[in-house]
């Protein structure tokens, strides 16, 4: 819609924001009307209309089989659009149109903002299945008429309330129509079932909804006046009520078709099972984070024990082997520490890479500095854990074998994410400017334990490739090419 409005119309950003707010709400009008909605906006030169948005009803058959967004029609071809735009009123005159042998009733609703008509909503109702309307359908249609008048007057949608239509109750979930005093005029079967879930034993019609709701709310205090007002629909609000047997989500919509409140619509949805599952997920997430926290603590304990043992060993080789083991355990602990702070099994690996780089740099025999360029991005835990070990081994190998006591130099870790598909690639390069590789060195046949770990993890567990080659100027370059899942 942004592109169409800016390309074809004279509307400014504040007008466009109003249209976005309207489009975020108009599923309600479509469902209450049993009709398709198409938003037409006049073009910059005023000679045509461009359709910038479309909505189909969940409560009835569609009138359009094709997508209308982006269509242009000249002014004069649809007189009802012209009349609604020029006169600023809802236009219902005219005979039904026939589209592919389907009769369609067309109405035009001006979209007003701060006294200006920005465009026109064409409301198209498929008349093929028209029958004698029930009480529910009559209530829907009357409520739709009131909302249409509010749109034409510029009082709907409500500018101070941004609604997430995916999370808010919809018309089919449950609907209650109130009069100006908050007394129930009509309650749909789904709405009545939701109130029965709260503990209501009688019908709702004729009762004051706010008072009835406050009595059902789990409170030993006197009647909650705020809850009475909310459930009476005095202001546009969303709220929830949780009783012992259920949780009901509410949305109140005051109806002011002529500027004065004549009643309200209350949409409600039984979200008992949804909230129960959310609580289970929260408990599960907390348990997983606690497990990661305890694993991290256990690994740190193991590392401390190995460090103590290393101090008691007289053999230089044995002490170095234990210190290497301490760093390997520490790299895994870093991942679990990061996972213990997240809500899912994904980690921002750049922080882990920086911590591994700092940890390994402590063993530098000279004044060697480490730095990272590029971004690893978000990685799944099953990738992050072996990759942290791989990075630890490569850095440790570069610092131990690439530099001598007193040397100065640099070790750089470069990460590049590529690809746009679900399975993208991660290219990691670790390059130092040390003494370089010995002649005839083959990293794929080396008996070095660290390189054996790298080969096993990269090729076996991560499904990638590993190579170690001389750097262009001096030193050594290690290249990792790994498949990773793309995350936004």
- pLDDT, one tens digit per residue, over 17-35 is 999 999 999 999 999 999 9
In the chain, the percentage of residues whose pLDDT exceeds 70 is: 93
**Alpha-carbon span 276 to 243, nearest angstrom:** 13
SS3 of 459, please?
helix
Quick one: pLDDT at residue 220? 46
- What is the average pLDDT across 374-391? 86
| pLDDT tens readout for residues 247-301 | 899 999 999 998 899 999 999 999 988 888 888 777 777 776 777 778 878 888 8
Overall pTM > 0.95? no
| pLDDT tens readout for residues 345-372 | 788 888 888 888 887 677 665 578 888 9
pLDDT reading at 118 higher than 90: yes
**Alpha-carbon span 301 to 271, nearest angstrom:** 45
**Structure token digits, residue 427:** 């290219």
Given a contact cutoff of 8 angstroms between Cβ atoms, the answer to whether 81 and 108 are in contact is yes
SS3 of 103, please?
strand
Place of tokens 């449950």: 174
Distance, C-alpha 203 to centroid of its chain: 39
**Structure token digits, residue 133:** 């309307």
**Alpha-carbon span 172 to 425, nearest angstrom:** 45
pLDDT reading at 190 higher than 70: yes
Quick one: pLDDT at residue 224? 63
Enumerate the β-bridge partners of residue 466. 480
SS3 of 349, please?
helix
**Alpha-carbon span 433 to 141, nearest angstrom:** 77
**Alpha-carbon span 368 to 355, nearest angstrom:** 16
398 pLDDT band, cuts 50/70/90, is confident
**Structure token digits, residue 185:** 């005029």
pLDDT reading at 110 higher than 70: yes
pLDDT reading at 379 higher than 60: yes
Give 50 or 329, the one with higher predicted confidence.
Answer: 50
Place of tokens 């948005």: 53
Which of 59-68, 128-137, 259-268, 397-406 shows the highest mean pLDDT?
Answer: 259-268
Quick one: pLDDT at residue 185? 96
Q: How far is CA 66 from CA 50, 86, 233, 453, in A?
A: 16, 28, 38, 58
* Longest distance between any two alpha carbons in the chain, whole Å: 101
């Amino acid at each position: 819609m942004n592109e169409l409005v800016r390309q074809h119309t004279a509307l400014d950003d504040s007008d466009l924001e109003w249209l976005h707010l309207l489009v975020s709400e108009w599923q309600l009008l479509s469902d209450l009307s049993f009709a398709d909605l198409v938003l037409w906006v006049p073009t910059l030169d005023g000679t045509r209309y461009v359709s910038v948005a479309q909505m189909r009803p969940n409560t009835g058959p569609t009138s359009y089989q094709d997508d209308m967004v982006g269509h242009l029609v000249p002014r004069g071809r649809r007189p009802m659009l012209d009349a609604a735009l020029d006169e600023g009123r809802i236009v219902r005159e005219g005979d039904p149109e026939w589209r592919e042998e389907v009769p369609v009733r067309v109405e035009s609703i001006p979209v007003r903002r701060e006294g200006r008509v920005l465009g026109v909503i064409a409301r198209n109702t498929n008349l093929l299945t028209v029958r004698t309307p029930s009480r529910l359908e009559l209530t829907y249609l009357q409520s739709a008429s009131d909302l249409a008048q509010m749109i034409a007057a510029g009082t709907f949608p409500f500018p101070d309330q941004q609604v997430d239509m995916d999370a808010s109750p919809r018309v089919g979930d449950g609907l209650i129509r109130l009069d100006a005093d908050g007394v129930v005029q009509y309650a749909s079967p789904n709405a009545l079932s939701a109130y029965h879930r709260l503990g209501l034993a009688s019908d709702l019609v004729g009762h004051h909804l706010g008072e009835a709701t406050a009595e059902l709310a789990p409170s030993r205090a006197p009647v909650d006046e705020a809850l009475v007002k909310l459930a009476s629909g005095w202001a546009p609000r969303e709220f929830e009520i949780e009783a012992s047997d259920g949780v009901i989500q509410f949305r109140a919509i005051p109806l002011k078709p002529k500027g004065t409140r004549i009643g309200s619509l209350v949409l409600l949805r039984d979200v008992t099972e949804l909230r129960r599952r959310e609580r289970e997920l929260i408990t599960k997430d907390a348990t997983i984070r606690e497990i990661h926290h305890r694993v991290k603590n256990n690994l740190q304990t193991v590392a401390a024990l190995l460090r103590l043992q290393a101090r008691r060993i007289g053999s230089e080789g044995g002490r170095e082997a234990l210190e290497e083991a301490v760093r390997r355990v520490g790299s895994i602990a870093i991942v679990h520490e990061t996972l213990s702070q997240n809500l899912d099994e994904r980690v921002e690996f750049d922080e882990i890479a920086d911590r591994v780089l700092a940890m390994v740099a402590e063993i530098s025999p000279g004044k060697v500095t480490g730095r990272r360029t590029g971004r690893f991005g978000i990685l799944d835990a099953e990738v992050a854990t072996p990759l942290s070990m791989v990075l630890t081994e490569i850095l440790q190998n570069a610092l131990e074998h690439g530099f001598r006591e007193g040397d100065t130099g640099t070790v750089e870790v470069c990460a590049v994410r590529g690809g746009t598909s679900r399975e993208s690639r991660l290219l990691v390069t670790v390059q130092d400017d040390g003494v370089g590789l010995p002649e005839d060195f083959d990293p794929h046949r080396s008996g070095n334990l660290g390189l054996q770990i790298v080969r096993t993890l990269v090729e076996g567990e991560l499904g990638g490739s590993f190579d170690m080659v001389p750097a262009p100027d001096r030193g050594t370059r290690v290249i990792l090419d790994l498949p990773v899942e793309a995350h936004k």
